[in-house]
Protein backbone atom coordinates (compact mmCIF):
# COMPACT_ATOMS: atom_id res chain seq x y z
CA UNK A 1 0.00 0.00 0.00
CA UNK A 2 1.33 3.44 -0.94
CA UNK A 3 1.94 5.80 1.97
CA UNK A 4 0.21 9.07 1.18
CA UNK A 5 0.89 12.73 1.78
CA UNK A 6 -1.68 15.04 3.36
CA UNK A 7 -3.03 16.29 0.03
CA UNK A 8 -3.33 12.75 -1.31
CA UNK A 9 -5.30 11.63 1.75
CA UNK A 10 -7.74 14.48 1.12
CA UNK A 11 -7.99 13.36 -2.51
CA UNK A 12 -8.70 9.79 -1.35
CA UNK A 13 -11.55 11.05 0.85
CA UNK A 14 -12.97 13.01 -2.08
CA UNK A 15 -12.57 10.03 -4.43
CA UNK A 16 -14.50 7.82 -1.99
CA UNK A 17 -17.27 10.39 -1.58
CA UNK A 18 -17.65 10.65 -5.35
CA UNK A 19 -17.20 7.01 -6.37
CA UNK A 20 -18.83 4.98 -3.59
CA UNK A 21 -20.80 7.27 -3.58
CA UNK A 22 -21.28 8.41 0.02
CA UNK A 23 -22.03 11.83 1.54
CA UNK A 24 -19.11 13.29 3.47
CA UNK A 25 -21.25 13.36 6.61
CA UNK A 26 -21.89 9.61 6.34
CA UNK A 27 -18.17 8.94 5.82
CA UNK A 28 -17.50 10.96 8.97
CA UNK A 29 -20.13 8.88 10.76
CA UNK A 30 -18.41 5.67 9.66
CA UNK A 31 -15.03 6.89 10.86
CA UNK A 32 -16.44 8.06 14.19
CA UNK A 33 -18.16 4.72 14.78
CA UNK A 34 -14.82 2.95 14.32
CA UNK A 35 -13.27 5.31 16.88
CA UNK A 36 -16.01 4.63 19.41
CA UNK A 37 -15.56 0.90 18.93
CA UNK A 38 -11.86 1.22 19.80
CA UNK A 39 -12.38 3.68 22.63
CA UNK A 40 -14.83 1.42 24.43
CA UNK A 41 -12.58 -1.57 23.82
CA UNK A 42 -9.65 0.23 25.46
CA UNK A 43 -11.39 2.21 28.21
CA UNK A 44 -14.96 0.91 28.47
CA UNK A 45 -17.94 3.04 29.49
CA UNK A 46 -16.21 5.75 31.45
CA UNK A 47 -16.20 9.56 31.46
CA UNK A 48 -14.90 11.26 28.31
CA UNK A 49 -14.01 14.86 27.54
CA UNK A 50 -13.84 15.59 23.81
CA UNK A 51 -11.85 18.67 22.79
CA UNK A 52 -13.03 19.73 19.33
CA UNK A 53 -11.72 22.23 16.86
CA UNK A 54 -14.13 23.71 14.35
CA UNK A 55 -12.93 21.81 11.28
CA UNK A 56 -13.73 18.29 10.18
CA UNK A 57 -11.53 16.77 12.88
CA UNK A 58 -13.76 18.56 15.36
CA UNK A 59 -16.76 17.20 13.45
CA UNK A 60 -15.39 13.70 14.07
CA UNK A 61 -15.11 14.59 17.75
CA UNK A 62 -18.73 15.74 17.95
CA UNK A 63 -19.97 12.54 16.28
CA UNK A 64 -17.86 10.50 18.71
CA UNK A 65 -19.34 12.46 21.62
CA UNK A 66 -22.88 11.71 20.43
CA UNK A 67 -22.19 7.99 20.02
CA UNK A 68 -20.51 7.71 23.42
CA UNK A 69 -23.45 9.53 25.01
CA UNK A 70 -25.86 7.09 23.34
CA UNK A 71 -23.87 4.22 24.89
CA UNK A 72 -24.44 5.71 28.33
CA UNK A 73 -21.00 7.25 28.85
CA UNK A 74 -20.52 10.48 30.78
CA UNK A 75 -19.57 12.98 28.05
CA UNK A 76 -18.38 16.57 28.09
CA UNK A 77 -17.57 18.54 24.92
CA UNK A 78 -15.14 21.45 24.72
CA UNK A 79 -15.26 23.49 21.51
CA UNK A 80 -12.09 25.48 20.85
CA UNK A 81 -12.91 28.47 18.65
CA UNK A 82 -16.07 30.02 17.26
CA UNK A 83 -18.59 27.25 16.63
CA UNK A 84 -20.54 29.34 14.14
CA UNK A 85 -17.47 29.47 11.90
CA UNK A 86 -17.08 25.70 11.81
CA UNK A 87 -17.06 23.52 8.71
CA UNK A 88 -20.35 22.29 7.24
CA UNK A 89 -19.96 18.77 8.66
CA UNK A 90 -18.95 20.23 12.03
CA UNK A 91 -22.16 22.27 12.08
CA UNK A 92 -24.28 19.24 11.16
CA UNK A 93 -22.80 17.15 13.97
CA UNK A 94 -23.13 19.99 16.47
CA UNK A 95 -26.85 20.23 15.62
CA UNK A 96 -27.23 16.46 16.13
CA UNK A 97 -25.50 16.48 19.51
CA UNK A 98 -27.92 15.58 22.30
CA UNK A 99 -28.18 17.27 25.67
CA UNK A 100 -24.57 17.04 26.81
CA UNK A 101 -22.37 19.50 28.63
CA UNK A 102 -20.76 21.78 26.00
CA UNK A 103 -18.22 24.47 26.81
CA UNK A 104 -16.74 26.92 24.33
CA UNK A 105 -13.17 28.17 24.71
CA UNK A 106 -11.82 31.27 22.98
CA UNK A 107 -9.02 33.74 23.50
CA UNK A 108 -10.86 35.37 26.40
CA UNK A 109 -11.33 32.33 28.65
CA UNK A 110 -8.67 29.88 27.42
CA UNK A 111 -6.45 30.51 30.44
CA UNK A 112 -9.13 29.11 32.76
CA UNK A 113 -9.48 25.78 30.93
CA UNK A 114 -9.01 22.68 33.07
CA UNK A 115 -9.34 19.14 31.70
CA UNK A 116 -11.88 16.73 33.14
CA UNK A 117 -12.98 13.18 32.43
CA UNK A 118 -11.00 9.98 32.77
CA UNK A 119 -10.25 10.01 29.03
CA UNK A 120 -9.46 13.13 27.00
CA UNK A 121 -10.19 12.87 23.28
CA UNK A 122 -8.13 15.16 21.07
CA UNK A 123 -10.17 16.23 18.04
CA UNK A 124 -8.70 19.71 17.84
CA UNK A 125 -6.70 19.68 14.59
CA UNK A 126 -6.43 16.94 11.96
CA UNK A 127 -4.23 16.32 8.95
CA UNK A 128 -5.27 19.62 7.41
CA UNK A 129 -2.97 21.52 9.80
CA UNK A 130 0.00 23.02 7.94
CA UNK A 131 1.65 25.22 10.59
CA UNK A 132 2.45 25.08 14.27
CA UNK A 133 -0.17 25.89 16.89
CA UNK A 134 0.43 29.31 18.42
CA UNK A 135 -1.17 31.78 20.79
CA UNK A 136 -3.99 30.90 23.14
CA UNK A 137 -4.67 27.61 21.32
CA UNK A 138 -1.15 26.52 22.20
CA UNK A 139 -2.05 27.17 25.83
CA UNK A 140 -5.08 24.90 25.47
CA UNK A 141 -2.85 22.10 24.14
CA UNK A 142 -0.52 22.67 27.07
CA UNK A 143 -3.41 22.12 29.46
CA UNK A 144 -4.51 19.03 27.52
CA UNK A 145 -1.05 17.52 27.90
CA UNK A 146 -1.47 17.49 31.68
CA UNK A 147 -4.04 14.72 31.24
CA UNK A 148 -2.83 11.12 31.64
CA UNK A 149 -5.15 9.44 29.12
CA UNK A 150 -5.26 11.28 25.80
CA UNK A 151 -6.56 9.69 22.62
CA UNK A 152 -5.95 11.62 19.40
CA UNK A 153 -8.31 11.28 16.46
CA UNK A 154 -6.48 10.70 13.15
CA UNK A 155 -3.32 12.56 14.25
CA UNK A 156 -2.12 14.28 17.45
CA UNK A 157 -3.01 17.96 17.21
CA UNK A 158 0.03 20.01 16.27
CA UNK A 159 1.80 17.17 14.47
CA UNK A 160 2.12 17.98 10.78
CA UNK A 161 1.15 14.97 8.70
CA UNK A 162 3.97 15.19 6.14
CA UNK A 163 6.82 16.30 8.40
CA UNK A 164 9.30 13.73 9.72
CA UNK A 165 11.35 16.28 11.62
CA UNK A 166 9.96 17.13 15.09
CA UNK A 167 7.85 20.28 15.18
CA UNK A 168 9.03 23.33 17.09
CA UNK A 169 5.54 24.19 18.30
CA UNK A 170 3.35 22.54 20.90
CA UNK A 171 1.99 19.08 20.05
CA UNK A 172 -0.46 16.85 21.90
CA UNK A 173 1.18 13.92 23.70
CA UNK A 174 -1.28 11.05 23.21
CA UNK A 175 -1.34 7.60 24.74
CA UNK A 176 -3.27 6.31 21.72
CA UNK A 177 -3.80 7.61 18.19
CA UNK A 178 -6.76 6.35 16.17
CA UNK A 179 -5.73 7.11 12.61
CA UNK A 180 -7.90 6.58 9.56
CA UNK A 181 -7.10 4.01 6.87
CA UNK A 182 -3.33 4.51 6.76
CA UNK A 183 -0.70 5.95 9.12
CA UNK A 184 0.48 9.45 8.42
CA UNK A 185 4.12 9.95 7.43
CA UNK A 186 5.07 11.89 10.56
CA UNK A 187 3.95 9.01 12.81
CA UNK A 188 6.58 6.61 11.47
CA UNK A 189 9.76 8.03 12.99
CA UNK A 190 11.00 7.71 16.56
CA UNK A 191 11.30 11.45 17.08
CA UNK A 192 7.51 11.78 16.90
CA UNK A 193 6.70 8.56 18.71
CA UNK A 194 6.18 10.29 22.05
CA UNK A 195 3.26 12.22 20.57
CA UNK A 196 1.43 9.26 19.03
CA UNK A 197 1.60 6.57 21.70
CA UNK A 198 0.10 3.33 20.41
CA UNK A 199 -1.08 3.80 16.83
CA UNK A 200 -4.29 2.06 15.76
CA UNK A 201 -4.97 2.11 12.01
CA UNK A 202 -8.74 2.04 11.51
CA UNK A 203 -10.16 0.80 8.23
CA UNK A 204 -12.97 3.24 7.44
CA UNK A 205 -13.63 1.82 3.99
CA UNK A 206 -12.00 4.40 1.74
CA UNK A 207 -12.40 3.34 -1.88
CA UNK A 208 -9.59 0.97 -2.95
CA UNK A 209 -9.69 2.30 -6.51
CA UNK A 210 -7.83 5.48 -5.61
CA UNK A 211 -4.24 5.85 -6.85
CA UNK A 212 -2.18 9.02 -6.38
CA UNK A 213 -1.01 10.76 -9.55
CA UNK A 214 2.65 10.61 -8.52
CA UNK A 215 3.21 7.82 -5.96
CA UNK A 216 6.11 8.52 -3.64
CA UNK A 217 8.87 6.16 -2.56
CA UNK A 218 7.25 4.97 0.67
CA UNK A 219 5.01 1.95 1.17
CA UNK A 220 3.00 0.46 4.06
CA UNK A 221 3.21 -3.34 4.19
CA UNK A 222 -0.03 -5.17 4.97
CA UNK A 223 -1.20 -8.79 5.11
CA UNK A 224 -2.59 -8.48 1.59
CA UNK A 225 0.87 -7.48 0.31
CA UNK A 226 2.57 -10.47 1.93
CA UNK A 227 0.10 -13.35 1.68
CA UNK A 228 0.59 -13.87 -2.06
CA UNK A 229 4.40 -13.82 -1.80
CA UNK A 230 4.89 -16.81 0.48
CA UNK A 231 5.91 -20.16 -1.01
CA UNK A 232 3.44 -22.99 -0.50
CA UNK A 233 4.26 -26.61 0.36
CA UNK A 234 3.12 -29.02 -2.32
CA UNK A 235 1.71 -32.47 -1.61
CA UNK A 236 4.83 -34.22 -2.93
CA UNK A 237 7.38 -31.79 -1.51
CA UNK A 238 10.12 -32.90 0.88
CA UNK A 239 12.89 -31.28 2.89
CA UNK A 240 15.11 -31.06 -0.18
CA UNK A 241 12.58 -28.96 -2.06
CA UNK A 242 12.42 -26.28 0.64
CA UNK A 243 16.02 -25.16 0.52
CA UNK A 244 19.22 -25.66 2.50
CA UNK A 245 20.44 -22.71 4.56
CA UNK A 246 23.95 -22.22 5.95
CA UNK A 247 24.17 -20.18 9.17
CA UNK A 248 27.67 -18.90 9.99
CA UNK A 249 27.33 -17.77 13.57
CA UNK A 250 28.38 -18.01 17.19
CA UNK A 251 31.46 -17.49 19.32
CA UNK A 252 32.37 -18.10 22.94
CA UNK A 253 29.63 -16.60 25.11
CA UNK A 254 27.40 -15.83 22.12
CA UNK A 255 26.20 -19.25 21.01
CA UNK A 256 22.65 -18.24 21.89
CA UNK A 257 22.55 -15.98 18.83
CA UNK A 258 23.53 -18.87 16.56
CA UNK A 259 20.88 -21.06 18.16
CA UNK A 260 18.14 -18.46 17.76
CA UNK A 261 18.94 -17.75 14.10
CA UNK A 262 19.10 -21.45 13.19
CA UNK A 263 15.94 -22.46 15.05
CA UNK A 264 14.06 -19.47 13.61
CA UNK A 265 15.07 -20.51 10.10
CA UNK A 266 13.67 -23.99 10.66
CA UNK A 267 10.44 -22.60 12.10
CA UNK A 268 10.20 -20.34 9.04
CA UNK A 269 10.04 -23.40 6.83
CA UNK A 270 13.50 -24.01 5.42
CA UNK A 271 13.93 -27.69 4.57
CA UNK A 272 17.48 -28.05 5.91
CA UNK A 273 19.68 -25.85 8.08
CA UNK A 274 23.39 -26.27 8.78
CA UNK A 275 25.16 -24.14 11.38
CA UNK A 276 28.89 -23.46 10.99
CA UNK A 277 30.05 -22.83 14.57
CA UNK A 278 33.30 -22.81 16.58
CA UNK A 279 34.41 -26.24 17.73
CA UNK A 280 33.56 -25.37 21.32
CA UNK A 281 29.96 -24.63 20.32
CA UNK A 282 29.21 -27.95 18.64
CA UNK A 283 27.61 -29.73 21.59
CA UNK A 284 25.70 -26.59 22.56
CA UNK A 285 24.21 -26.24 19.10
CA UNK A 286 23.37 -29.91 18.60
CA UNK A 287 21.70 -30.08 22.00
CA UNK A 288 19.72 -26.86 21.55
CA UNK A 289 18.69 -27.37 17.91
CA UNK A 290 18.56 -31.11 17.19
CA UNK A 291 16.81 -30.50 13.86
CA UNK A 292 19.87 -28.67 12.52
CA UNK A 293 23.12 -30.08 11.18
CA UNK A 294 26.49 -28.71 12.23
CA UNK A 295 29.68 -27.86 10.37
CA UNK A 296 32.55 -27.32 12.81
CA UNK A 297 35.18 -24.62 12.56
CA UNK A 298 38.85 -25.33 13.25
CA UNK A 299 38.92 -22.87 16.15
CA UNK A 300 37.48 -23.53 19.60
CA UNK A 301 36.00 -20.13 20.44
CA UNK A 302 35.43 -18.21 17.20
CA UNK A 303 34.84 -18.73 13.51
CA UNK A 304 38.11 -18.62 11.59
CA UNK A 305 37.17 -19.89 8.12
CA UNK A 306 34.33 -20.49 5.71
CA UNK A 307 33.04 -23.97 4.95
CA UNK A 308 32.39 -25.13 1.41
CA UNK A 309 29.33 -23.36 0.03
CA UNK A 310 28.34 -26.19 -2.26
CA UNK A 311 24.82 -27.51 -1.80
CA UNK A 312 23.37 -24.44 -0.08
CA UNK A 313 20.74 -22.10 -1.48
CA UNK A 314 21.34 -19.19 0.91
CA UNK A 315 23.52 -18.07 3.80
CA UNK A 316 23.19 -16.10 7.04
CA UNK A 317 26.36 -14.64 8.52
CA UNK A 318 26.86 -12.68 11.69
CA UNK A 319 24.69 -13.58 14.70
CA UNK A 320 26.97 -13.84 17.74
CA UNK A 321 30.00 -14.09 15.45
CA UNK A 322 32.32 -11.66 17.22
CA UNK A 323 34.91 -9.51 15.45
CA UNK A 324 38.16 -11.42 15.99
CA UNK A 325 40.74 -10.83 13.25
CA UNK A 326 40.29 -14.43 12.07
CA UNK A 327 36.55 -13.85 11.83
CA UNK A 328 37.05 -10.62 9.89
CA UNK A 329 39.25 -12.53 7.45
CA UNK A 330 36.52 -15.15 7.05
CA UNK A 331 33.96 -12.43 6.31
CA UNK A 332 36.41 -10.85 3.87
CA UNK A 333 36.66 -14.17 2.03
CA UNK A 334 32.89 -14.54 2.12
CA UNK A 335 32.44 -11.22 0.35
CA UNK A 336 34.88 -12.33 -2.36
CA UNK A 337 33.72 -15.89 -2.94
CA UNK A 338 30.03 -16.16 -2.07
CA UNK A 339 27.50 -15.78 -4.86
CA UNK A 340 24.64 -17.17 -2.79
CA UNK A 341 21.82 -14.92 -1.60
CA UNK A 342 22.92 -13.94 1.88
CA UNK A 343 21.83 -12.13 5.01
CA UNK A 344 24.51 -10.23 6.89
CA UNK A 345 23.57 -9.36 10.45
CA UNK A 346 25.07 -8.22 13.76
CA UNK A 347 28.82 -8.86 13.95
CA UNK A 348 28.86 -9.64 10.24
CA UNK A 349 27.93 -5.98 9.74
CA UNK A 350 30.51 -4.87 12.28
CA UNK A 351 33.19 -6.82 10.43
CA UNK A 352 32.22 -5.13 7.16
CA UNK A 353 32.40 -1.74 8.88
CA UNK A 354 35.90 -2.51 10.20
CA UNK A 355 37.01 -3.84 6.81
CA UNK A 356 35.46 -0.81 5.06
CA UNK A 357 34.14 -3.33 2.58
CA UNK A 358 30.74 -2.01 1.49
CA UNK A 359 31.91 -1.73 -2.13
CA UNK A 360 32.42 -5.50 -2.17
CA UNK A 361 28.65 -5.95 -1.80
CA UNK A 362 27.71 -3.94 -4.85
CA UNK A 363 24.92 -5.56 -6.90
CA UNK A 364 25.08 -8.84 -4.97
CA UNK A 365 22.00 -10.67 -3.67
CA UNK A 366 22.55 -9.32 -0.17
CA UNK A 367 20.31 -8.29 2.70
CA UNK A 368 21.83 -6.15 5.45
CA UNK A 369 19.87 -6.14 8.74
CA UNK A 370 21.32 -3.38 10.96
CA UNK A 371 19.86 -1.76 14.02
CA UNK A 372 20.49 2.02 14.12
CA UNK A 373 23.96 1.85 15.72
CA UNK A 374 25.14 -0.82 13.29
CA UNK A 375 23.71 1.26 10.45
CA UNK A 376 25.71 4.28 11.58
CA UNK A 377 28.90 2.22 11.73
CA UNK A 378 28.40 1.41 8.07
CA UNK A 379 27.16 4.75 6.76
CA UNK A 380 28.20 7.41 9.27
CA UNK A 381 26.50 9.12 12.20
CA UNK A 382 22.94 10.36 11.78
CA UNK A 383 21.22 12.94 13.97
CA UNK A 384 17.68 11.77 13.29
CA UNK A 385 15.80 8.70 12.17
CA UNK A 386 14.40 10.55 9.18
CA UNK A 387 17.95 11.28 8.01
CA UNK A 388 18.83 7.60 8.51
CA UNK A 389 15.85 6.51 6.40
CA UNK A 390 16.91 8.87 3.62
CA UNK A 391 20.45 7.46 3.69
CA UNK A 392 19.12 3.90 3.71
CA UNK A 393 17.04 4.61 0.63
CA UNK A 394 19.96 6.18 -1.22
CA UNK A 395 22.49 3.49 -0.27
CA UNK A 396 20.16 0.64 -1.21
CA UNK A 397 19.92 2.10 -4.71
CA UNK A 398 23.64 2.95 -4.79
CA UNK A 399 24.83 -0.56 -3.90
CA UNK A 400 21.94 -2.48 -5.47
CA UNK A 401 21.20 -4.33 -2.22
CA UNK A 402 18.34 -4.66 0.25
CA UNK A 403 18.68 -2.95 3.64
CA UNK A 404 16.46 -3.77 6.62
CA UNK A 405 16.65 -1.02 9.25
CA UNK A 406 15.26 -2.54 12.43
CA UNK A 407 13.07 -0.69 14.89
CA UNK A 408 9.44 0.34 15.23
CA UNK A 409 7.84 -0.01 11.78
CA UNK A 410 11.01 -1.80 10.59
CA UNK A 411 11.90 -0.41 7.17
CA UNK A 412 12.99 -2.40 4.12
CA UNK A 413 14.80 -0.38 1.44
CA UNK A 414 15.04 -2.00 -1.98
CA UNK A 415 17.25 -1.26 -5.01
CA UNK A 416 14.27 0.06 -6.99
CA UNK A 417 14.19 3.10 -4.70
CA UNK A 418 11.26 2.09 -2.49
CA UNK A 419 11.13 1.98 1.31
CA UNK A 420 8.58 -0.39 2.85
CA UNK A 421 7.41 0.40 6.39
CA UNK A 422 6.21 -2.66 8.29
CA UNK A 423 2.76 -2.63 9.88
CA UNK A 424 3.21 -5.47 12.39
CA UNK A 425 5.11 -5.75 15.66
CA UNK A 426 5.12 -4.23 19.12
CA UNK A 427 7.56 -3.61 22.02
CA UNK A 428 7.84 -7.36 22.70
CA UNK A 429 10.47 -7.29 19.94
CA UNK A 430 12.68 -5.07 22.10
CA UNK A 431 14.45 -8.08 23.57
CA UNK A 432 17.81 -9.78 23.22
CA UNK A 433 17.96 -12.05 20.21
CA UNK A 434 14.96 -10.83 18.25
CA UNK A 435 17.28 -9.58 15.50
CA UNK A 436 18.94 -13.01 15.30
CA UNK A 437 15.48 -14.52 14.88
CA UNK A 438 14.73 -12.12 12.02
CA UNK A 439 18.02 -12.89 10.27
CA UNK A 440 17.25 -16.61 10.36
CA UNK A 441 13.76 -16.02 9.02
CA UNK A 442 14.98 -13.94 6.07
CA UNK A 443 17.62 -16.58 5.33
CA UNK A 444 14.98 -19.31 5.36
CA UNK A 445 12.82 -17.51 2.81
CA UNK A 446 15.86 -16.85 0.60
CA UNK A 447 16.73 -20.55 0.71
CA UNK A 448 13.14 -21.36 -0.21
CA UNK A 449 13.54 -19.37 -3.42
CA UNK A 450 12.29 -15.87 -2.66
CA UNK A 451 14.27 -12.85 -3.85
CA UNK A 452 15.96 -10.51 -1.38
CA UNK A 453 13.28 -7.84 -1.48
CA UNK A 454 10.30 -10.15 -1.03
CA UNK A 455 12.03 -12.38 1.53
CA UNK A 456 12.92 -9.33 3.63
CA UNK A 457 9.47 -7.77 3.51
CA UNK A 458 7.77 -11.09 4.27
CA UNK A 459 10.09 -12.10 7.10
CA UNK A 460 9.87 -8.67 8.74
CA UNK A 461 6.08 -8.80 8.53
CA UNK A 462 5.81 -12.34 9.96
CA UNK A 463 8.39 -11.55 12.66
CA UNK A 464 6.17 -8.68 13.80
CA UNK A 465 3.02 -10.77 13.43
CA UNK A 466 4.51 -13.40 15.75
CA UNK A 467 5.05 -10.68 18.36
CA UNK A 468 1.49 -9.46 17.84
CA UNK A 469 0.21 -12.99 18.40
CA UNK A 470 2.10 -13.16 21.72
CA UNK A 471 0.81 -9.74 22.77
CA UNK A 472 -2.76 -10.77 22.04
CA UNK A 473 -2.15 -13.95 24.06
CA UNK A 474 -1.26 -11.84 27.11
CA UNK A 475 2.55 -11.86 26.99
CA UNK A 476 2.95 -8.08 27.26
CA UNK A 477 4.97 -6.19 28.31
CA UNK A 478 7.92 -8.49 27.57
CA UNK A 479 8.97 -11.99 26.59
CA UNK A 480 12.04 -13.86 25.35
CA UNK A 481 13.10 -14.56 21.78
CA UNK A 482 12.54 -18.28 22.29
CA UNK A 483 8.84 -17.52 22.83
CA UNK A 484 8.92 -15.43 19.67
CA UNK A 485 10.28 -18.39 17.69
CA UNK A 486 7.47 -20.61 18.95
CA UNK A 487 4.95 -18.15 17.52
CA UNK A 488 6.47 -18.06 14.00
CA UNK A 489 4.43 -20.99 12.59
CA UNK A 490 1.26 -19.50 14.05
CA UNK A 491 1.97 -16.20 12.31
CA UNK A 492 2.63 -18.02 9.04
CA UNK A 493 -0.65 -19.89 9.44
CA UNK A 494 -2.63 -16.71 9.94
CA UNK A 495 -1.16 -15.16 6.80
CA UNK A 496 -1.67 -18.32 4.73
CA UNK A 497 -5.31 -18.36 5.83
CA UNK A 498 -5.70 -14.82 4.46
CA UNK A 499 -4.31 -16.02 1.11
CA UNK A 500 -6.85 -18.86 0.87
CA UNK A 501 -9.88 -16.72 1.74
Alpha helices in 295-414, H assignment, sequence order: 325-337, 347-355, 372-379, 385-399
Residue predicted with more confidence, 72 or 474: 72
pLDDT tens digits, residue range 116-175?
A: 999 999 999 999 999 999 999 999 999 999 999 999 999 999 999 999 887 778 999 999
pLDDT at 500: 64
pLDDT at 478 over 90: no
Task: List CB contacts of 197: < 8 A, sequence separation 6 or more.
Answer: 150, 173, 174, 175, 176, 177
Quote the CATH superfamily of domain 225-500. Ribokinase (3.40.1190.20)
pLDDT at 220 over 90: yes
pLDDT tens digits, residue range 21-34?
A: 999 999 999 999 99
pLDDT at 501 over 70: no
* pLDDT classification of 316: cutoffs 50, 70, 90: very high
Q: In the chain, what percentage of residues exceed pLDDT 70?
A: 99
Instruction: Give me the long-range contacts of 448-451 (CB less than 8 A, separation at least 24).
Output: 448/231, 448/242, 448/243, 448/269, 448/270, 448/271, 448/313, 449/231, 449/243, 449/313, 450/229, 450/231, 451/341, 451/365
pLDDT at 30: 98
As a whole number, mean pLDDT of residues 236-245 equals 95
As a whole number, mean pLDDT of residues 396-423 equals 99
What is the overall mean pLDDT for the chain? Answer: 97
φ/ψ of 416, rounded to 5, equals -80, 5
pLDDT tens digits, residue range 191-200?
A: 999 999 999 9
* pLDDT classification of 498: cutoffs 50, 70, 90: confident
pLDDT tens digits, residue range 85-110?
A: 999 999 999 999 988 999 999 999 99
pLDDT at 499: 67
Alpha-carbon distance 61 to 388, whole Å?
36
Residue predicted with more confidence, 234 or 341: 341
φ/ψ of 300, rounded to 5, equals -75, -40
- Kindly give the pairing relationship between strand 150-153 and strand 74-80: unpaired
pLDDT at 231: 87
The DSSP line for 99-112 is: S-EEEEE-TTTGGG
Domain limits of the chain?
Answer: 6-216, 225-500
Beta-sheet strands, E only, within 112-206: 119-123, 150-153, 176-180, 198-202
The pTM score is 0.96
SS3 of 273, please?
strand
CATH code that applies to domain 6-216 = 3.40.50.10260
Amino acid sequence: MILLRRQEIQEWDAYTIQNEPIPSLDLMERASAKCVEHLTRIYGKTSYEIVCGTGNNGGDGLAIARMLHELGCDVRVVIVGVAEQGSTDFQHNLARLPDVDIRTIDEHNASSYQCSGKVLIDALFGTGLTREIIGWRAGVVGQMNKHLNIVSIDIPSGLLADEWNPQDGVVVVAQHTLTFQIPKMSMLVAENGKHCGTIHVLDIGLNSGYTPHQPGAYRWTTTRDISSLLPLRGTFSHKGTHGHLLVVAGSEGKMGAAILATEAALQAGVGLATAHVPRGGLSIMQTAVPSAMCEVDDHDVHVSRLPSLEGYQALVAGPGLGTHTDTQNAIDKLLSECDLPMVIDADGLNCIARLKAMDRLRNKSVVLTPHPKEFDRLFGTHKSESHRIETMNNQSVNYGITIVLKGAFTRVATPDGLVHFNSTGNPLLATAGSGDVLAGMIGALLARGMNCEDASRAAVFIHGAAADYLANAGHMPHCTSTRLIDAIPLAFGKIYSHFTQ
